[in-house]
Structures are given as structure tokens and as C-alpha cells.
Amino acid sequence: MSTGQPIPSGRGSPPSPSAIRPFHLPPVRSDRLGNGLAVRSMARTEVPLVSIALVLDVGEAPVPAGREGIAVFAGDGLQGGTARRSGVELAEGLERLGSDLRVATGWDATTVAFTCLAERLDEMLALLSEVVREPAFPQDEVERIRRQRLADLHRRRMEPARLADDELLREMVPDGQPYGRPLLGTPASVESLDAEGVRAFVEERYGPVRGGLVAVGDLSEERVADLAARHFGEWGKQANDRADLSRHRESGGRKLVLVNRPGAVQSELRVGHLGPPRGTSQEDALRVANSILGGAFTSRLNLRLREERGFTYGVRSRLSLRRDGGTFTIGTSVDTGVTAEALAETMEVFDRFVQSGPSEEEVTQARDYLAGVFPLRMETTAQLAARLAELLVFDLPDDHHHTYRDRIRGVDAEAAGEAAAAHLRPDRAVMLVVGDAERVAGELEQAGLGELKVRDP
């Protein structure tokens, strides 16, 4: 094989960076309406767009047994129309303004967001206010949504990656604790939801207290405060309690589970355990540690499993830190024939990382990466609005994002190693495989990873 044209001299090493130009995140302006609704705004005038996020203190985590999925259901149902217009009329009204509403319900909050041309903001806010304050939940829409959610739950069981995510939660979270089931609910709970129940839930839970309106884009901050007061100032307060879920943070012991999926050509691997909540004191150091172990492309796990061994298209680890506790998970999918070997290597990399910690070199690299990509993730008005919404969901200080890069740059190898040792727990990890038991059970039993439990999905 030829090697192409001759290699010129002088190209041998990477060029040095030029002088750095500072990145300034515009300041956050903070207001509060008389009814308690927080307002956060940031001016970004480069593009004639505005992104809005309305945060409601309505999550799935505190939903009691038997009604799982009702917060998600209510969020979806907002699109079903209001006291003044049908769902079809609502959709047409929004889309003729070139926008739509994205309702996202998570464990901790419901966020209703949109992006529109700045000149259409007033009209869009009027629609948003109508949608969250006067939702109708007509019977036929409730039935439609219920049927679609049931179909979605059925679909999750047949997509290997979703199935593995759900099965991991089930194994990882002790019964009765939050976060242990699909966010959407269970087939039985979704089946039991009706229009009356959803209306009552919204009546009791939706409101301005502990919620907020976020606005980012081509706007003046004074105008945001005025618009917020005009469209949400009269919103009456809702029930003012928040469930305390903080006692639910215990992981079970280490275990190995195989969920049988006959005929699968790949095995989905998951390793995970419960972790600390958002806002924990070692959070930044833990994020650096996670980046080194499995968060970045050049992480230890990806380099070993993908670039050295060719076992997988990719492997990632992820921290999901929530209000009342979080999870740490490693996820990948591998060729069926290497299932046990890939899981054993994953655990070996995980164990060793936690035992001996990261090197100074790795920490420098991860720090530079995390601090460097920060401006790239704060580029659009929608990204920024999502970040400001986090401030409200997790009660973070207004300058949380402004100080992020300095905090990350302050993490050294010792701090990252300590955070890993404190919060990453291979000794308590659930190791879960979704794959063809006939082909992989034998090897998994022999892999020295512990006693294997095999079951159906």
C-alpha cells in the first residue's frame, strides 16, 4: 500500500492556541410576582427569537402508588384544549405563529416551553397562560392520550435499549422508592386514569408557587417582567406542600441479572446504582470523575470497549442527579458473543477507576473539556432557557452557570478521586443484561461477577 504524498516537515505537533477571548454569559435578572411565581430572564439579541420555559412544581417522583404517570398524563393533556378552544384550534393557533408548545414532565417538574419570533411573544404568552390556567381535559382527548400512553408502554418493552433502562431501574431502586419505574407510569396505573382525576390533580398541583417563568432572547428584561405580570399575575396559588422524599436514597447490594430476550443479536448491558441528589457538595468533582470514566468519547470505558476491543459502537456513563437523589449508570450494547467478556471488562475498568482514582493528566483533560464545551452548550436561546429553568427546579443560585467553569477548573485529581470513591459504588452496582439467555447465561455464570439471576422481562 502506498502512503500518499510526502509528509512535509514542520507539521509534526499540534499548533498552540492563540490568545483566548473571554466568554461572558449575560447576567440573569430575577423577579418574583406577588403570587410567588419566580421570573428569570436573560437578554440575547443576536437572533430575533425568544425562548420561554414555564416551570411548574409538578413531577412524577411524589406521585403515590396507583396513580403513577398522572403528572406526565396531565402535561400531555395540556395540548388537548382549553376552556376557550379545542385541541385542534390550539395547535393551529400556535403553529400559525410559527411555534408549538413542548411539554416535558420529569421526576421533579413539568416544563412547558416554546421558541418564537420575538415580535410574537405577547400572543404566545397569552396562549401559554390559557393552556396552563384553563386546561379542559375533554373526555375524548383523555381517552386518546390514555390509549397512546398504553401503546408507548408496550413499545418500550420491545425496544432493547428502553427495556434495559426500565429493567435496570426496577432492579436498582427498592420497592416503594421514587424513580424505580417508567416515568410514564405502569399499564395498570395509566389504565385507571380518567378525566375527572386529571382535572382534580391539575386543580390541586398547578400554580405559581415554587414555579417560574424563564425568558431568554431578543427582549428587554423590563418587558419580561411586565409580560409575566400581565399573563400570570392573577394566577391563584395552589396547594403549598412539597413531599419529602429525601429518606429514599439507599441502594441494595451488588447483583447480576439477565433478562431473557430470545434471539437478540446484541446484548444490552447496564451497570448502575443510586447516587446523590443535585446540589451535593462534591457534584463538580463527581462530574469530572464521570467524564473520565465514561462520560467523554475518550473515556476509559469507551477507549477500552470500543477502540481497543471493538465490542461495541460506544459506551457511556451518565449521572442523573435529581432533587431527592440520583442515579449513576453505565450503558452499552455489545455483540451477543462477547457479552460476558464485555461486562467483565466494564466492571474491571469501573472497579479500578474507583480504587485508584484518576491521574492528574486525566483530570486536567476532563476539566479542560468540561469547561471548554460549556459555551458550546449555551449557544441558543432554547438551550439557555433550559439551563435557567434548572435553576428553578433545583433551587440553584442565579449565578450557578456563571461560576460553573471556575468551579470545574478548581477540581484536582484528589477531589475527583474522593468524589468517585464516595459516590461511585461498584460494590453496590446492579449489573443487568438484556439478551438471549440460551447464548449468554452460561458465560455470565462463569464470569466471576456473582450469582446470576435469570428472568423474563
Partner 1 sequence: MLSIAFQTHVLANGLTVVLAPDRSVPVVAVNLWYAVGSRNEPPGRTGFAHLFEHMMFQGSANVEKGGHFELVERAGGSLNATTWFDRTNYFETVPSHQLDLALWLESDRMGWLLPAMTQEKLDNQIDVVRNERRQRYDNQPYGDWDERIQAMVYPPDHPYHHTVIGSMEDIGSATLEAVEEFFLTYYRPNNAVLTLAGDFEPEAALARVEHYFGGIDPGPDLPPLPGRADLPERIGEPVRERVEAEVPLPRTYLAVRIPSLTDPDFPVADVASSVLAEGRGSRLYRRLVRGERLANDVLAFAFPLTTGRSLMVGWVTGFPESDPDELEHAFERELEALSDVRDEEVERALALAETGLLRQVEQLSSRADLLSMYQTHFGDAGRLNGELDRLRGVTSGRIRAFAENLLAPDNRALLTYIPSEAS
> Which residues ranging from 298 to 317 are in contact with partner 1 (CB under 8 A)?
298, 303, 306-313
> Which is closer to partner 1, CB of 164 or CB of 392?
164
Beta carbon of residue 253, minimum distance to partner 1 (angstroms, whole number): 30
By CB under 8 A, the residues from 349 to 388 that bind partner 1 are: 365, 368-369, 371-376, 379-382
By CB under 8 A, the residues from 255 to 284 that bind partner 1 are: 263-266
> Which is closer to partner 1, CB of 344 or CB of 371?
371
Q: Which range of residues in 5-13, 193-201, 230-238, 439-447 is near partner 1 by CB under 8 A?
A: 5-13
> Which is closer to partner 1, CB of 7 or CB of 83?
7
Contact characters 37-76, partner 1, x per CB under 8 A: ---------xxxx---------------------------
Contact characters 106-145, partner 1, x per CB under 8 A: ---------xxx-----------------------x--x-
> Which is closer to partner 1, CB of 374 or CB of 394?
374
Q: Which range of residues in 57-65, 94-102, 181-189, 352-360 is near partner 1 by CB under 8 A?
A: 94-102
List the grid coordinates of 18.
492563540
List the grid coordinates of 44.
440575547
Q: Which range of residues in 11-19, 206-214, 392-400, 413-421 is near partner 1 by CB under 8 A?
A: 11-19
**Residue 446 is a binding residue for partner 1 (CB under 8 A):** no
Beta carbon of residue 247, minimum distance to partner 1 (angstroms, whole number): 37
**Residue 176 is a binding residue for partner 1 (CB under 8 A):** no
**Residue 209 is a binding residue for partner 1 (CB under 8 A):** no
Q: Which residues have a Cβ under 8 Å from the Cβ of 164 and sit 6 or more positions away?
A: 259, 268, 269, 270, 331, 432, 434
Beta carbon of residue 326, minimum distance to partner 1 (angstroms, whole number): 24
> Which is closer to partner 1, CB of 65 or CB of 373?
373
Beta carbon of residue 95, minimum distance to partner 1 (angstroms, whole number): 4
